[in-house]
Amino acid sequence: MTDGPANVPQKVPHHVAIIMDGNGRWAQQRGLSRLKGHEQGAESVRAVMKGARNHGVRILTLYAFSVENWSRPAAEVNGLMNLLPRFLRKHEHLLHENGTRLRAIGRLNDLPANTRKDLFRVMADTEAYTERQLVLALSYGGRAELTDAVRALARKVKAGELDPEAIEPETFAGELYAPDLPDPDFMIRTSGEQRISNFLLWQLSYAELYFAPELWPDFREEQFAEAMRVYAGRQRRFGGVASC
Give pLDDT tens digits for 35-48: 999 999 999 999 99
Using 50, 70 and 90 to split pLDDT, how confident is the model at 9? very low
Q: Identify whether the C-beta of residue 108 lies closer than 8 Å to the C-beta of residue 181.
A: no
pTM, two decimals, is 0.92
Q: Domain coordinates of the chain in residue numbers?
A: 27-145+185-232
Using 50, 70 and 90 to split pLDDT, how confident is the model at 241? low
Lowest mean pLDDT across 8-12, 61-65, 92-96, 119-123: 8-12
Burial of 244 (0-12, 13-18, 19+ CB in 10 A): exposed
Q: How many whole angstroms separate alpha carbon 86 and alpha carbon 70?
A: 20
pLDDT for the residue numbered 242: 55
Higher pLDDT, 215 or 3: 215
Q: How many whole angstroms separate alpha carbon 14 and alpha carbon 56?
A: 8
Q: Identify whether the C-beta of residue 183 lies closer than 8 Å to the C-beta of residue 204.
A: yes
Averaged pLDDT for residues 143-158: 98
Q: Does the pLDDT value for residue 3 go beyond 60?
A: no
The CATH number of the structural domain formed by 27-145+185-232 is 3.40.1180.10
Q: Is 69 a catalytic residue?
A: yes
Instruction: Tell me which amino acid residue 151 is.
Output: R
| Sheet strands side by side (includes 186-189) | 100-105, 132-140, 59-66, 15-19, 186-189, 208-211
Active-site annotation holder among 69, 82, 98, 198: 69
- Measured between alpha carbons, how far apart are the two ends of the chain, in Å? 19
Pick from 93, 101, 98, 177: which is nearest to 134 by CA?
101
pLDDT in tens, 93-109: 999 999 999 999 999 99
pLDDT for the residue numbered 6: 45
Pick from 173, 170, 177, 168: which is nearest to 141 by CA?
177
Q: Identify whether the C-beta of residue 188 lies closer than 8 Å to the C-beta of residue 16.
A: yes
pLDDT for the residue numbered 10: 65
Give alpha helix (H) positions in the chain. Answer: 23-29, 34-55, 74-97, 113-125, 142-158, 169-173, 221-232
Q: How many whole angstroms separate alpha carbon 120 and alpha carbon 157?
A: 31
Q: Is 109 a catalytic residue?
A: no
